[in-house]
Structure 1
Amino acid sequence: MILQALTQYYDRKQLSPDPKDRLPAYGLEEKEIPFVIEIDKSGNFVTLVDTRVIEGKKKIAQKFLIPQGVKKTSGIATNLLWDNAEYVLGIVCKGKLDRVAEQHKAFREKISSLPIDTSNDLGIVAVKEFFEKLDLSNLELHPSWNEIIDTNPNFTFRLHGDVELICQRPAIIAATAQSSEVEDANGICLVSGTPAEIERLHSSIKGVWGAQTAGANIVSFNLPAFSSFGKDQGANSPVGKAAVFAYTTALNSLLGRGSRQRAQVGDTSTVFWAAQEHELENSFMDLFGEPSKDDPDRSTNAIKMVMQAAQTGRFSRGGAETEFYVLGLSPNAARIAIRFWEKVTAFDVSKRVAQHFTDLEIVRAPHDPEYLSLFRLLTALAIQGKADNIPPNLGGEVMRSILNGTPYPAGFLNLAIQRSKAEQHPSYARIAVIKASINRIIRRNNLNSSQKEKEFHVMLDTTNHNPAYLLGRLFATLEKIQEEANPGINATIRDRYYSAASSTPVAVFTTLLRLKNHHLGKLHKGRAVQLEKLIAEIMSDLSDFPRILTLQEQGRFALGYYHQRQTFFTKPQSSTEEVTQ
């Protein structure tokens, strides 16, 4: 199903009216080529062009459309008219002298083995002449020569004065297409369902965060333990050469640098596309990624678009029933693990994403962002707020819950509560996670229960009589009394008692209630009476202080504390409004 959907995406992109949006034809691929050797028609060296430009702190090479590269193995396998420095120039960078000599020989032999019509092309003749009089002394004068020796980058050729590379000349492209179309059917392709020549080694997938820089595979059988029924390598999962080219080209395009159809969710590289051109394809990343510095409102606009589409079922481009695909990938040694795979309609995905942001909605300070990105939620749960400390798999599991509309993983709620207790600070992002997680659990439990539990509101709910929620409200009120009694105090009862109060209330609240009498004595009489009434109102529904609160109850405690705390800093709408409104 995954390979079929990717192949269909490739076919759609092949028909795109925009050449820039079109994926390479069968037998070709886009590749970063750092260095281009320019020669004249007689094969004389003219110059070495460095195509790299500085983006941020990295040098990024220009991409060219070139003949598709071969699958590199432990043996010697060379590409047509482009490859690394060892193959093209025969210089020792990382390999051994004898092996490099064989690699260079194989590179030249592949050029010589081209059909007669192609071998007479002006560019091919010039390359052959270049190798006949190969002299590296001019190349060694280039400022990047030492870097070339260290990194073994890719090289290719161009005739001086031409725009296209030699490997892009019409005769070469025609020969590449012709050789790609010759198939000797030896099996049934699992993707197309038709007879095809089965690919033994699938092309590598690049761009998965944390995977090998040279690329990794989704389909791979490189040890006898992975094989069955005496079949070898690709024969265990027969996919035709054309289908392999299509799905790998499509996936590499989705994962490519600058792609608007990928998002990094924790350790999971997530890509998304639709069966037909759709508005969600280019806006889905904005729903979960950090706001762009160039256009900070883009994420907010994308979320509002999805919320509107969830209500109306209408999109500015594409239909509500268009199939939408989301694929999560994680590194696994030389392979790529499928973290999740979801196929839903555009309307369903908009409803589930909208529900996610609705569940997260909580009263906030004016400087807090209206919508929290998934990255910000995950880092709020990580030790020291560092992305490197986000637990593995958590991002993918949360994304799966969003797309399925199911309760979030247990770790999502657990970490939000643990970090709040460890740092004595139930922050906006953590409380949003707690509210969203608990409400989804309540929603699921209410489906099969005669006694319906009330979901938690965005703001303070004075009608919610859950004991843990009331304890949280009481703790916030006691802290407020302490703050008003001691203006400018550096540390409050939250810094010392929050963790214990939220897990073992009976051990803390008796002491805190005694301390509050001392603090109330410092306040203006009217204010002291007002706060005492609030405490009495909260405690009227508390029969006793529990010995211990479960993890979910600790989440309810955090919500009560946060709601009451935010209310203290909310400007009353009228003079008659109560302090709890």
Structure 2
Amino acid sequence: IRAMMVAKRIKPADWVTWQVGALDPREDTGVQQWWRDWRTQALGGGVETGDSPPAGSMLCLLTGEPVEPLLTQPKISGLSGVGGLSMGDVMVGFDKAAFQSYGLEKSTNAAMGEAPAQQYVDALNHLIRQQKEATGKNPSRRTNAMMVYWFKEHIPPEEDPFSMLYGMETGEQQTASALAQARKLLDAIRSGNRSALGNNHYYAMTLSGASGRVMVRDWMDGQFVQLVAHIEAWFTDMAIVHREGGNRLAPDPKFLAVGGSLVRELKDLPASTTSVLWHAAVAQLPIPQPLMAQALDRFRSAIVKDETFSHARMGLIKAYFVRQPQGKALMQPYLNPDHPDPAYHCGRLLAVLAKLQQAALGDVGAGVVQRFYAAASTAPGLTFGRLVGNSRNHLGKLEGGLSYWYEQQIAEVMKKLGDQFPRTLNLEGQGLFALGYYQQLAALRTPKKDSSNSNSNSNTEGESK
């Protein structure tokens, strides 16, 4: 047996089982029943109804029945990729005297019988194994925390809202955007075509490992219809015009693409950030300001390095404002020339000036955006005077018609700004500046024949960068 294990490269923490001929004992109902009876009776896992509790028995926290409590809990496996140990981690553990009370030893401080404890461990191992299998098929789901979930009643994979949130998994889902899928399912429930789903419930939690223990970072549960509505709202709030402009929105971003837009690499995304984003998406909560600030930092870095815009990052910044009071009416996926905040129009103006410089001088390496974005987005009152003044030199290098068109663009934005530029911008102002810059740039890239339809709600497939 040892030689066989070495040949198959079986690790000490791997699970093994037995097979008798062609029979797997685990699948035999007789063996399963014998195992339950043996664990309950021979190991003292429970007390027959009507019997007096034996000496040393305690009430099980899971069942409320008198049991002989376990000194140590079974281990949960599969969390080694999110901070856990390869040999497994415990959900309940009292391995130090400081954790123990009333003279109780180890896990008797949270009394559980062997059978119910094994049941919750088996259930968690099953959920974790499902997520690991999904991660193997879709590596973009790999992060420093693991989200596990289940439903009260079975849900087909193509109708799984969490799968929509993670990204397209099934063939049917790949034929439509996640937003369209969520809306279709929500409409079916509300119209009564899928009324049974309205009585379903979901349960979800975020797990990670820490020093041999399972850390439950978050717990959520609720009605299935609310979950679908919240997922639909997540994609609606994240919707942003495509970076190349045109009459189209950016593809629906996968959940971890949003988290990945906050860091250089997805493996650097803290488990706590993943948990906060997960809660915001599933429970339709506001986007915390620190996450918007992270997105802005990454956006500024991308500007300086002249990197491709991340749809997921810009969608997250937009969602931050949409989920503020009155934000939904003001912040749109496409350019909003009537936005009331001057910070937004300052960003628009920088985009126009950048395109003007490009039209006049071509590729000049570090252009006006790379050189002045940081200053313009924090202190526009001290920066734009020089930029607008220099634009006259660029206008003089263009032919009459094109020069006139750019003059009109600059004048239209300046009209929205009024008499003067804001002296400085706070964090939210910088966020609006970034959105104004991005959406104006996308509008300038939009052919005139498409500009009249820029408020279309059309979407495309795939994952945003």
Counterparts of residues 26-41 of structure 1 (less than 5 Å): 37=1
Q: Distance in 1 between matches of 2:363 and 2:347?
A: 23
CA contact (8 A) 2:352 2:440 kept: yes
Counterparts of residues 311-390 of structure 1 (less than 5 Å): 311-313=187-189, 318-364=196-242, 365=244, 370-383=251-264, 386-390=265-269
Q: Secondary structure at the match of 1:272?
A: strand
Q: Distance in 2 between matches of 1:218 and 1:541?
A: 58
**Corresponding residue for residue 120 of structure 2:** 247
Return the structure number with greater helix share: 2
Give per-residue Cα distances to partners, 1:327-370, cap 9 Å, x unaligned: 11111111011111001100111111111110000111379852
Q: 1:515 aligns with which of 387, 390, 398?
A: 390
Q: 1:400 aligns with which of 279, 294, 300?
A: 279
Matched AA of 1:375:
L
Q: Distance in 1 between matches of 2:278 and 2:357?
A: 41
Counterparts of residues 70-149 of structure 1 (less than 5 Å): 85=2, 139=3, 144=6
Q: 1:190 aligns with which of 61, 66, 69?
A: 61
**Corresponding residue for residue 468 of structure 1:** 343
CA contact (8 A) 1:564 1:580 kept: no
Q: Distance in 2 between matches of 1:309 and 1:165?
A: 40
Deviation at 1:513, TM superposition (A): 0.9
**Corresponding residue for residue 90 of structure 2:** 217
Q: Distance in 2 between matches of 1:310 and 1:168?
A: 38
Q: Distance in 2 between matches of 1:393 and 1:430?
A: 18
**Corresponding residue for residue 105 of structure 2:** 232
Identify if the C-alpha distance between structure 1 residues 221 and 570 changes in structure 2 by more than 3 Å, giving closer, same or farther.
same
Identify if the C-alpha distance between structure 1 residues 410 and 267 changes in structure 2 by more than 3 Å, giving closer, same or farther.
farther
Q: Secondary structure at the match of 2:197?
A: coil
**Corresponding residue for residue 144 of structure 2:** 267
Identify if the C-alpha distance between structure 1 residues 408 and 534 changes in structure 2 by more than 3 Å, giving closer, same or farther.
same
Q: Distance in 1 between matches of 2:130 and 2:225?
A: 28
Q: Distance in 2 between matches of 1:170 and 1:312?
A: 40
Q: Distance in 2 between matches of 1:169 and 1:404?
A: 42
Q: 2:412 aligns with which of 499, 517, 537?
A: 537
Q: Secondary structure at the match of 2:385?
A: helix
Q: Distance in 2 between matches of 1:338 and 1:247?
A: 14
Give per-residue Cα distances to partners, 1:446-469, cap 9 Å, x unaligned: 8xxxxxx94211111111131100
Deviation at 1:145, TM superposition (A): 5.0
Q: 1:493 aligns with which of 327, 348, 368?
A: 368
The runs of 5 or more residues in structure 1 that have no matched partner are: 1-36, 38-84, 86-138, 447-452
CA contact (8 A) 2:351 2:440 kept: yes
**Corresponding residue for residue 68 of structure 1:** none
**Corresponding residue for residue 184 of structure 2:** 308
Greater gyration radius? 1
Q: Secondary structure at the match of 1:270?
A: strand
CA contact (8 A) 1:266 1:396 kept: no
**Corresponding residue for residue 332 of structure 2:** 457
Higher relative contact order (CA 8 A, sep 6+): 2
Identify if the C-alpha distance between structure 1 residues 388 and 232 changes in structure 2 by more than 3 Å, giving closer, same or farther.
same
The percentage of counterpart residues that share the same residue type is 24
CA contact (8 A) 2:379 2:424 kept: yes
Matched AA of 1:389:
D
Could you say what the CA RMSD is over the residues aligned between the two structures, in angstroms?
3.4
Counterparts of residues 375-454 of structure 1 (less than 5 Å): 375-383=256-264, 386-424=265-303, 427-443=310-326, 454=329
Q: Distance in 1 between matches of 2:8 and 2:446?
A: 64
Q: Distance in 2 between matches of 1:170 and 1:272?
A: 28
Give per-residue Cα distances to partners, 1:266-320, cap 9 Å, x unaligned: 422001111122347972442233445x859538455433222334435759521
More displaced, 413-422 or 315-324?
315-324
CA contact (8 A) 2:168 2:174 kept: yes
Q: Distance in 2 between matches of 1:302 and 1:427?
A: 18
